[in-house]
Amino acid sequence: MSRPDIFYQPLEGETSGLPHDPFKSFAIPRPIGWISTTSQSGQDNLAPFSQFQNVSFDPPTVLFIGHQDLYKKRSRDTVMNCIETNEFVWNMATYAIGTRRLGLGPLLTDVCRHKLREAVNNTGKETWDDEFQEFGIEKAPSRLVRPPRVKDSPVSFECRVHSIVRVANDFHGKKAAGPHMVGNSDIVIGRVLGIHIKGDYITGDGLFDVLKAAPIARLGYRQYTYIDNIFEMTIPSMPDEGNAASVLSGNLPYRDLKEEEADKTA
C-alpha cells in the first residue's frame, strides 16, 4: 500500500514523519572524498567525506565539507589540518581489494588482502590517532605536498587549499544545532596541484577504467553503492558552439599550457 505524498519545511522544525530522515537519500550518489592531511606537528590523518565534489575542471578544483565535530567540540581534524597547513590529498575510495600491513614487527609485517571499502568506513571513526596506522592502511609519499596518499587508491589528487567557507548553523535563527546536531559546516576548496593515476586502471584506448576501479559512493541511511555499470550519451551542442561541447564531453584534450607559451614565443 502506498503512503500519502509528503511536504515538510525543515527550517520550520518540521520533519518527514518517516522513521528515518530521508534527506541524505536524495542528492545521491555522493562520491567520497577520502582525505589525507598532516598536522603541523607531523601526525597524518585520513577520513572520508561524502560531501565531496569537483568545483571546476580547468584548472581542476575540488571541495569537501567537514561538519563541526560534536565529539571533539570543534572542526574535524581534517579541517583543522587544512587551516594549519593549507594542504590535503584526495584518494579515490573503491569497493575493491587492497593490501593491508599487519604491523606486527619486522617478521610479521606481512601484507594481507582486505576490502578497501571497509577501510574507508573504518576511517570514519572519530579517533585522535593516525587512521593509516590504526587501520593498517598503507601510505605512499606525495610529491608536492606533505600528506601521504593511500597506496591502494587508483587515483589521488595532491591539493593546496584555495579557501574555506563556513556555512554557519543557523537553525530557526538561533545559533544552535539542528536535529542532527552537526553544527557549522566548513567547505574546504582546493586546487589540484598533482594527479596520480595507477597505470593498471588505464584502458588500452586511454580511458580511466571506472568499472575496474569500482568507486564507492554514499547514499542515505547506512547505504552505499559502487559503480558497476556505465552508459554513454553525447551532450547536444549548438552549431556555432565550436569546441566547447567537445571539451565538456572530454573529447578534446586541454592544450598544454607550455605548448601554448611556446606557440606565442615562436
Q: Would you tell me which residues interact with ligand FMN (CB under 6 A)?
A: 32, 45, 47-51, 65-67, 69, 76-78, 121, 124-126, 218
Q: 92: helix, coil or strand?
A: strand
The Cα-based distances of 123 to 11, 49, 62, 116, 177 in angstroms read 31, 10, 21, 11, 24
CB of 246 to ligand FMN, least distance (A): 33
CB of 45 to ligand FMN, least distance (A): 5
Q: Which is nearer to ligand FMN, 88 or 156 (CB)?
A: 88
Start-end of H helices in 108-235:
116-122, 131-134, 210-213
Cβ contacts of residue 174 below 8 Å, gap of 6+? none
Q: Which is nearer to ligand FMN, 192 or 216 (CB)?
A: 216
Residue closest to ligand FMN when measured from CB atoms: 124
CB of 44 to ligand FMN, least distance (A): 10
CB of 52 to ligand FMN, least distance (A): 7
Q: Which is nearer to ligand FMN, 22 or 250 (CB)?
A: 22
Distance of CA 106 to the CA centre of its chain: 33
CB of 29 to ligand FMN, least distance (A): 11
Distance (Å, rounded) from C-alpha 251 to C-alpha 249? 5
- Number of Cβ atoms within 10 Å of the Cβ of 43: 14
Residue with cell 556555432: 240
Q: Which is nearer to ligand FMN, 69 or 245 (CB)?
A: 69
Q: Which is nearer to ligand FMN, 53 or 109 (CB)?
A: 53
